[in-house]
């Protein structure tokens, strides 16, 4: 019940904000096991939305539902709707290419291709038919600058991306997303494999990127959610227990379970 009220209040308070994704009555099962239960909340444009909650609560499942990647698991069954820019992504007539070109994803473990830094970034644009070296050069530079790694790699663009540190590889993966000029960037615990300095760099980068993109970030690090997000959804056992502005959730949570979680009483 709490979430219903929170959701209505949010709608009134944010009547002028554009909604990128709206999730309505979403349920998801892996075979017999229900992993997402009646999820309802919006994601707003040019904000960072954090998804928090203990291990196994459905954070990765939810974020992979937003780009339909979760449907690669054969036993998955879904009910409800996810509207992306007003269109239900589960509609038979929905064109999946739209999600692939508009929604980028960054994973927990940096996963550059075993190719040069340049070819990692040029990969998506080439798939979209861009052949001109001049145009590709421009995209590569712009994307690497956007991911705050240009200065570190500009003299070694033709070296293998595997030679970079983990934190640099993760920024290469972000640059690879930027190269397709996405609308939304999904990040699933993008710093959990990184050292504190690389983590800080990614956090600063996320703050920069939200000016141009909408970002949804899964994190099990509550300080990180509090530092970098505008809104937070707290998941527990497949349900959204609370969804609110991050300041509100961390200073004055509405639900006892949220309070217990953010004060470190479990998870």
Ligand X SMILES: Nc1ncnc2c1ncn2[C@@H]1O[C@H](COP(=O)(O)OP(=O)(O)O)[C@@H](O)[C@H]1O
Residues forming the site for ligand X (CB under 6 A): 30, 35, 53, 55-61, 73
Stretch that binds Mg ion, among 10-18, 57-65, 135-143, 194-202 (CB under 5 A): 57-65
For ligand X, which is the closer residue by CB, 166 or 267? 267
What is the residue-wise DSSP string for the chain?
A: -HHHHHHHHHHHHTTTSPEEEEEEEEEEEETTEEEEEEEEEEEETT-EEEEE-STTSSHHHHHHHHTTGGGGSTTEEEEEEEEETTEETTSTT--HHHHHHHEEEE-SS----SSBHHHHHHHHHHHTT---HHHHHHHHHHHHHHTT-HHHHTT-TTSBGGGS-HHHHHHHHHHHHHTT--SEEEEESTTTTS-HHHHHHHHHHHHHHTTTSEEEEE-S-HHHHHHH-SEEEEEETTEEEEEEEHHHHHHS-SSHHHHHHHTTS--
For ligand X, which is the closer residue by CB, 73 or 127? 73
Closest residue to Mg ion, based on beta-carbon distance: 60
Residue 135 binding partner per list ligand X, Mg ion, none, with a CB distance cut-off of 5 to 8 Å that depends on partner kind? none
Number of residues interacting with Mg ion: please give it, by CB under 5 A: 1
For the bound state, the minimum distance from the C-beta of residue 225 to ligand X, rounded and expressed in Å, comes to 14
Residue 30 binding partner per list Mg ion, ligand X, none, with a CB distance cut-off of 5 to 8 Å that depends on partner kind? ligand X
For ligand X, which is the closer residue by CB, 56 or 163? 56
Distance CA 133, CA 131 (A): 6
65 touches Mg ion by CB under 5 A = no
191 touches Mg ion by CB under 5 A = no
For Mg ion, which is the closer residue by CB, 26 or 161? 26
Residue 56 binding partner per list ligand X, Mg ion, none, with a CB distance cut-off of 5 to 8 Å that depends on partner kind? ligand X
For ligand X, which is the closer residue by CB, 116 or 192? 192
Chosen residue from 3, 28, 48, 60 binding Mg ion by CB under 5 A: 60
Residue 73 binding partner per list Mg ion, ligand X, none, with a CB distance cut-off of 5 to 8 Å that depends on partner kind? ligand X
Footprint on this chain of Mg ion (rule: CB under 5 A)? 60
């Amino acid at each position: 019940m709490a979430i219903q009220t929170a959701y209505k209040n949010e709608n009134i308070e944010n009547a002028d904000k554009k909604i990128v994704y709206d999730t309505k009555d979403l349920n998801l099962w892996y075979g017999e096991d229900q992993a997402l239960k009646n999820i309802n909340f919006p994601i707003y444009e040019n904000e960072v939305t954090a998804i928090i909650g203990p291990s196994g609560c459905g954070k990765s499942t939810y974020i992979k539902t937003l780009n339909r990647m979760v449907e690669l698991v054969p036993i998955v069954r879904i009910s409800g709707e996810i509207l992306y820019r007003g269109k239900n992504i589960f509609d038979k007539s929905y064109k999946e290419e739209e999600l692939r070109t508009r929604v980028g994803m960054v994973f927990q473990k940096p996963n550059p291709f075993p190719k040069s830094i340049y070819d990692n970034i040029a990969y998506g644009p080439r798939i979209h038919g861009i052949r001109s070296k001049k145009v590709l050069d421009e995209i590569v530079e712009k994307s690497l600058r956007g991911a705050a790694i240009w200065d570190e790699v500009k003299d070694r663009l033709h070296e293998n991306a595997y030679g970079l540190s983990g934190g640099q590889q993760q920024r290469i993966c972000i640059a690879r997303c930027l190269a397709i000029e996405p609308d939304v960037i999904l990040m699933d615990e993008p710093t959990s494999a990184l050292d504190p300095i690389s983590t800080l760099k990614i956090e600063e980068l996320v703050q920069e990127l939200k000016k141009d993109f909408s970002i949804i970030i899964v994190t099990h690090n509550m300080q990180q959610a509090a530092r970098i997000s505008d809104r937070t959804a707290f998941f527990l056992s497949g349900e959204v227990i609370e969804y609110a502005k991050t300041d509100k959730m961390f200073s004055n949570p509405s639900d006892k379970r949220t309070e217990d979680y953010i004060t470190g009483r479990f998870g």
